[in-house]
């Protein structure tokens, strides 16, 4: 069942990212054509925006493929964190290419306004922007449905801030910003036409750059926390801890740590104190004591057998607890229960 769920999540994520790459790549070409026709600052900002989105989503795809590799001797916990690394690289690309270039061009356009060309043909560029809005809207819808499934009971804001799959979040936010950027570009071009000045168009370019900068910072934060070994969601940790503390064999939890290894994959490391009585085979101990009292056996071999049996019993109890945890919490991929 876990393998089936994992395969479904994998296919879902790949589908959304591939759709975003195809959509943004097509739109990027169309926007550059529109910019060449009308030389609009906001259109250039949108073309750069789509170019950055396409390149960054290719990086997301590389991260996804890398994260699906099986564990090796050099990487015994697998490659789940690879997607966080590539997502971080993608976020930096958005910041330097999307925010940096777009904002620079917007500032330059504001400071060096030229007389408005009233002869500009706006039909084709506006048509391209409307077409782009439809495509981006559809890709955004796919990403929204994907995140809605993955977030489960969490709110969208909580999942964006604390979720374990920033790839899905990155596609959702990038396409959301893309839709908003297209609206700004259309508004800038229309207002420039109405007021016969390129200033609204240049301001729209600046606003698009600011949106990209904010998006990059959000993605950097969400991926860096996961690369630094973020713990599981507080509510999930609370439920796992409660399950352990109420287990019949456990007396007390002395150490409890979780770490996100990848989407739907957690590592649990815990030190516990056991109820000694729950691990004792009282009938066997009575028999051993009787052997010693009657002189039937030398005390030393009997006590050695008793100690060895206790070690095996303790190991069996730990294995049973780990198996029960995996059944009740399928996201626990690696469990390390140790005796304090």
Cα 261 to Cα 6: distance, rounded to the nearest angstrom: 14
Is 159 in contact with 169 (CB distance < 8 Å)?
A: yes
Cβ contacts of residue 158 below 8 Å, gap of 6+? 151
| 58-79 per-position pLDDT tens digit | 888 888 887 778 878 887 777 7
Among residues 304, 254, 310, the alpha carbon closest in space to that of 278 is found at 310
Cα 180 to Cα 53: distance, rounded to the nearest angstrom: 14
Cα 13 to Cα 69: distance, rounded to the nearest angstrom: 15
pTM of the model: 0.73
Least confident of 86-90, 252-256, 279-283, 320-324: 279-283
b vs e for 128-149, b when ≥16 Cβ sit within 10 Å of the residue's Cβ?
A: bbebbbebbeebbebbbebbee
Least confident of 99-108, 240-249, 283-292: 283-292
Sign of the torsion formed by the C-alpha atoms of 148, 231, 238 and 71 = positive
For residue 15, pLDDT beyond 60:
yes
Task: Quote the tokens at residue 246.
Answer: 């109420």
With cut-offs at 50, 70 and 90, classify the pLDDT of residue 7: very low
- Which range in 2-6, 47-51, 101-105, 332-336 is most confidently predicted, on average pLDDT? 332-336
Cβ contacts of residue 57 below 8 Å, gap of 6+? 17, 20, 21, 24, 90, 171, 174
pLDDT of 10 reads 53
To 10 degrees, what angle do helices 166-195 and 82-93 make?
10
Residue with tokens 């010693």: 292
For residue 333, pLDDT beyond 50:
yes
More confidently predicted of 92 and 288 = 92
Sign of the torsion formed by the C-alpha atoms of 287, 288, 291 and 297 = positive
Cα 191 to Cα 136: distance, rounded to the nearest angstrom: 23
Domain boundary assignment for the chain: 2-227, 234-339
pLDDT of 3 reads 42
2-227: CATH topology = Alpha-lytic protease prodomain-like (1.20.1510)
Among residues 147, 171, 174, 170, the alpha carbon closest in space to that of 159 is found at 147
Cβ contacts of residue 86 below 8 Å, gap of 6+? 59, 60, 62, 63, 66
Cα 121 to Cα 119: distance, rounded to the nearest angstrom: 6
Q: What are phi and psi of 196, to 5 degrees?
A: 55, 45
Enumerate the β-bridge partners of residue 266. Answer: 260, 332
For residue 8, pLDDT beyond 50:
no
| CATH for the 234-339 domain, from 3.40.50.300, 3.40.50.11540, 3.40.930.10, 3.30.70.1350 | 3.30.70.1350
Percent of the chain with pLDDT over 70: 93
pLDDT of 209 reads 86
For residue 270, pLDDT beyond 50:
yes
With cut-offs at 50, 70 and 90, classify the pLDDT of residue 11: low
pLDDT of 258 reads 93
For residue 329, pLDDT beyond 70:
yes
Cα 285 to Cα 231: distance, rounded to the nearest angstrom: 43
| Mean predicted lDDT score pLDDT of the chain | 81
Least confident of 94-98, 231-235, 268-272, 319-323: 94-98
For residue 1, pLDDT beyond 50:
no
What CA dihedral angle connects 67, 169, 158 and 140, to 10 degrees? -150
Least confident of 37-41, 184-188, 271-275: 37-41
For residue 158, pLDDT beyond 70:
yes
């Amino acid at each position: 069942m876990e393998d089936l769920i994992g395969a479904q999540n994998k296919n879902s994520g790949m589908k959304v990212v591939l759709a975003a790459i195809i959509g943004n790549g097509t739109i990027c070409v169309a926007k550059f054509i529109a910019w060449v026709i009308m030389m609009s600052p906001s259109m250039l900002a949108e073309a750069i925006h789509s170019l950055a989105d396409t390149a960054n989503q290719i990086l997301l795809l590389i991260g996804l493929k890398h994260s699906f590799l099986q564990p090796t001797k050099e990487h015994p916990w697998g490659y789940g964190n690879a997607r966080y690394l590539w997502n971080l690289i993608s976020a930096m690309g958005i910041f330097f290419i999307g925010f940096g270039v777009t904002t620079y061009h917007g500032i330059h356009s504001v400071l060096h306004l030229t007389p408005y060309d009233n002869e500009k043909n706006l039909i084709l560029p506006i048509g391209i922007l409307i077409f782009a809005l439809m495509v981006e809207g559809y890709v955004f819808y796919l990403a929204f449905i994907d995140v809605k499934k993955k977030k489960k009971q969490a709110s969208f804001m909580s999942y964006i801030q604390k979720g374990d799959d920033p790839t899905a979040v990155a596609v959702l936010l990038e396409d959301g910003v893309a839709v908003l950027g297209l609206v700004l570009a259309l508004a800038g071009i229309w207002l420039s036409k109405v007021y016969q000045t390129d200033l609204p168009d240049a301001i729209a370019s600046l606003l698009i750059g600011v949106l990209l900068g904010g998006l990059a910072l959000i993605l950097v934060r969400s991926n860096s926390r996961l690369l630094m070994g973020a713990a599981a969601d507080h509510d999930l940790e609370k439920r796992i801890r409660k399950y352990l503390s109420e287990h019949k064999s456990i007396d007390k939890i002395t150490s409890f740590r979780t770490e996100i290894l990848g989407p739907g994959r957690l590592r649990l490391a815990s030190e516990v104190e056991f109820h000694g009585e729950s691990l004792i085979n009282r009938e066997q101990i009575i028999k051993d004591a009787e052997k010693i009292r009657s002189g039937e056996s030398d005390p030393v071999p009997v006590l050695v057998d008793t100690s060895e049996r206790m070690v095996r019993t303790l190991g069996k109890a730990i294995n049973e607890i780990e198996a029960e945890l995996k059944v009740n919490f399928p996201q626990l991929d690696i469990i390390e229960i140790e005796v304090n």
